[in-house]
Structure 1
């Protein structure tokens, strides 16, 4: 009489349990750790807003100053009127590794050029816990790039 298969064998069940345990140990903590996602989002938002402010300064022919601190970035007209702010995520603050206040002035002196408070390309590192992503703001063009 042929044997009909009606379910899983014990070996199949054990293999599924082993695979699920391996995923739970290695993959699940990475998926559930939202710190990485929040900081990555902050860095991408920083890039997008930085480029938007660079374009706005050139379109309006007005200098715009970006002030970078450990707790976020503020953009304002040279006269002081605030345009936008990007604070660090609440649970990952401070999120910019470089200490102190540094500035980037777009359309400096209405020349179209960008000036940094360091006088050279400025490094910005978004970091908290084990996550770290560097960015570089070019002194002459104001463009921002992620660094490897």
Structure 2
């Protein structure tokens, strides 16, 4: 009975397919994995919105006004008495991630009335931007609703 030899290795078509798939992944996926700036900005935006919601709930449950201070380099949260609750700086790769000039504030539960007051006296738009990423949301005066 003659022995049949099985070929060892891969065919040329298999090798070319693997090279094409690897090249495609390198072109498409690798730049997204290496450049995490937009991911960090998106995470910062989500954290900022979450902190604003938390500050509003905290001010109402504790019946104490909470002030959110928004600057170009981040946000800070404190009681009116001055006790700091939290700070949220911009991602380290982006020193200035919030568009807009000057310092803006939102006082949740102002005067224990349940209302939110912005330093502008109107709805306050906060824009997180940098390195091709831009996202904006609004904090309403009086209600403190975010949208």
C-alpha separation in 1, matches of 2:139 and 2:19 = 49
Size of the aligned set, in residue pairs, is 145
What is residue 15 of structure 1 aligned with on the other side?
17
Q: Choose the corresponding residue for 1:126, options 125, 128, 132.
A: 128
1:87 Cα deviation from its structure 2 partner: 0.9
What is residue 67 of structure 1 aligned with on the other side?
69
C-alpha separation in 2, matches of 1:83 and 1:13 = 58
Q: Choose the corresponding residue for 2:49, options 47, 63, 68.
A: 47
C-alpha separation in 1, matches of 2:86 and 2:11 = 61
TM-score, scaled to structure 2: 0.88
Contact 2:38–2:131 (CA<8 Å) still a contact in 1?
A: no
What is residue 29 of structure 1 aligned with on the other side?
31
Bigger Rg, structure 1 or 2: 2
Unaligned regions of 5+ residues in structure 1, if any? none
1:6 Cα deviation from its structure 2 partner: 3.6
Contact 2:40–2:91 (CA<8 Å) still a contact in 1?
A: yes
C-alpha separation in 1, matches of 2:11 and 2:5 = 13
C-alpha separation in 2, matches of 1:21 and 1:31 = 15
Question: Structure 1 residues 137, 5: closer, same or farther in 2, change over 3 A?
Answer: farther
TM-score, scaled to structure 1: 0.88
| Root mean square deviation of aligned Cα | 1.8
| Structure 2 residue matching 1:90: 3-state secondary structure | coil
Q: In terms of mean alpha carbon deviation, does 17-26 or 136-145 score higher? A: 136-145
